[in-house]
Amino acid sequence: MSEPVRITYREAVRQAIREALQADSRVFLMGEDVGKYGGCFAVSKGLLDEFGEERIRDTPLSESAFVGAGIGAALGGMQPIVEIMTVNFSMLALDQIVNTAATLCHMSGGQFPVPVVIRMATGAGRQLAAQHSHSLEAWYAHVPGLRVVEPATIDDARGMLRAALACPDPVIVFEPISLYNMQGELTAAASVVRLDGARVRRVGNDVTLVTYGASLWRCLAAAEALAGEGIDAEIVDLRSLRPLDDATILASVRKTRRAVIVDEGWRTGSLAAEVGMRIVEQAFYDLDAPIGRVCTEEVPIPYPKHLEDAALPGPERIVAAVRRLFAHDQ
C-alpha cells in the first residue's frame, strides 16, 4: 500500500465511494444517473453492478425530493451519499440543504444531527456555459450548520470523502469538473486526511496565494512563472471552506507579508472577500502591501473557449496580481 498509485481524480472519488460501501452497510449512493448511466461525470461507473440497485439508486430529476430523502435517511440511521450533477442544479434543492439539513441539529437542541454527505460538481473549464459551470461554494459556506469542503488533489478526493462520511454533520463536497480527468499519485496518506484544516501546497517566502479547488493548479502554474522572476510564492489550499482554517492562512501571511486570494467564485460577496477580511482583521499590521484578489469576472460563464478562459482566474492574471503587490515597493 505504501507504493504510490497513479489514478485520476474521478477514480479517487470512486475508490472512496466503493470503500465506504464495502465497509459500512448503512452507506448508499443516490442521485440522477448514478446507476445505469454510471454517473454524469462517470464517477460511479461500475458501482451498480458491484453493489446493486438498493445501494446505487437512480433517482428521478427531483433534486429537492432526493436531497431531502437523503437527509431523512440520515435521520433514520443510514449514511447516504447524495450526488447532485452540478452546483447549478443544487439550487433546486437549496430549501432542503439550507432550511433542513443545516438547521435540524440546532432546532432540535442537538437531538437530530444530520450525517448526510452531498457531493456535487462545480466550476468551469469544459465549455458547458452558464447553467453548468458556476462556482457557488460561497453560498453554502455562508450557512452555519453545514460543513463545506473542496478536495483539489487526488489524495484529498479519496480521503476527504471518507472523512465526510465519518462526520456527524451535513457535509457538502464540491468536486471541480475540470479536475475529474486529472491524473496524480494516490499515496497511503490519503486514508488518514482530515476533513478540516488548510494545507500549504508550496512553500515560499515572498507572497501567499490562498486558494481552493481547481484554482490550486492555476496557482501552482503561476508560482512557477513567478519563480522565474525571483518571486517565491507560498500556496495555501483551503480544502475546507466552512469552517475556514484561519491559523494556517495567517501563519503563512505573517511569514510572507503579502497575500493574493484566488477564487473561482465571482468577486462580489465571495469567499475571497471573507478570507481577505479575516487577514485584515487579524494580520493587518503584518502586511507590506494591500491584499490582492483574482476571481472569476462578473459574467455568467460564456460558452466560447477563449471567453471562458478570459473569465476564469488563470495563471497570467494571478502573476499580474502578484506583480502589482511588488510594484508598491518601487
Partner 1 sequence: MTELPAGMTRERGLHLLREMLRIRQFEDRCAELYGAGHIRGFLHLYDGEEAIAVGVMQVLGSGDAVVSTYREHGHALARGIAMGPLMAELYGKRAGCSGGRGGSMHIFDAATRFCGGNAIVGGGLPLAVGLALAEKLKGSRNVAACFFGEGAAAEGEFHESMNLAALWKLPVLFLCENNLYAMGTALVRSESQTDIQAKALAYGVRAAAVDGMDVFAVESAVRSAVEHARAGRGPVLLELRTYRLRAHSMFDAQLYRDKAEVEEWRSRGPLTTLTTALKTAGLMTEDDFQHLLREADAEVQAAVEFAAAAEWEPVEELARHVVAEERAS
Considering only 96, 122, 240, 248, the residue that binds partner 1 (CB under 8 A) is 96
Asked whether the beta carbons of 93 and 123 are under 8 A apart, the reply is: no
Report helix angle 315-327 to 215-228, nearest 10: 50
Residue 35, interface with partner 1 (CB under 8 A)? no
In this chain, which stretch among 69-77, 227-235, 247-255, 266-274 interacts with partner 1, using CB under 8 A?
Answer: 69-77
If DSSP codes are grouped into helix, strand and coil, which group holds residue 253? helix
Q: How far is the CB of 21 from partner 1 (least distance, A)?
A: 13
Residue 107, interface with partner 1 (CB under 8 A)? yes
Residue 36, interface with partner 1 (CB under 8 A)? no
**DSSP string over 10-70:** HHHHHHHHHHHHHH-TTEEEEETTSSSS--TTSTTTTHHHHH-TTTEEE--S-HHHHHHHH
Residue 109, interface with partner 1 (CB under 8 A)? yes
Q: What is Dmax (Cα atoms) for the chain?
A: 65
Q: How far is the CB of 218 from partner 1 (least distance, A)?
A: 32
- Cell numbers linked to 201: 501546497
Considering only 38, 80, 213, 265, the residue that binds partner 1 (CB under 8 A) is 80
Residue 52, interface with partner 1 (CB under 8 A)? no
**Residues from 123 through 162 that contact partner 1 (CB under 8 A):** 144-145, 147
Q: Which of 32, 63, 137, 308 is catalytic?
A: 63
Nearer to partner 1, 96 or 208 (CB): 96
- Catalytic residue flag (residue 63): yes
In this chain, which stretch among 37-45, 100-108, 124-132, 209-217 interacts with partner 1, using CB under 8 A?
Answer: 100-108
Q: How far is the CB of 140 from partner 1 (least distance, A)?
A: 14
Considering only 6, 24, 50, 99, the residue that binds partner 1 (CB under 8 A) is 99
Residue 187, interface with partner 1 (CB under 8 A)? no
For residue 273, what is the enclosing H or E element? Answer: helix 271-283
CA distance 147 to 170: 6
Radius of gyration of the chain (CA): 20
Residue 78, interface with partner 1 (CB under 8 A)? yes
CA distance 225 to 167: 39
CA distance 22 to 12: 15
Asked whether the beta carbons of 236 and 275 are under 8 A apart, the reply is: no
Nearer to partner 1, 35 or 80 (CB): 80
Considering only 19, 126, 127, 169, the residue that binds partner 1 (CB under 8 A) is 169
Q: Which strands sit side by side in the sheet containing 233-237, from one edge to the other? A: 199-202, 233-237, 207-211, 259-266, 292-296
Residues that bind partner 1 (CB under 8 A): 28, 54, 57, 59-60, 62, 64-78, 80, 95-96, 99-100, 104-113, 115, 144-145, 147, 166, 168-169
Q: Which residues are catalytic?
A: 63, 132
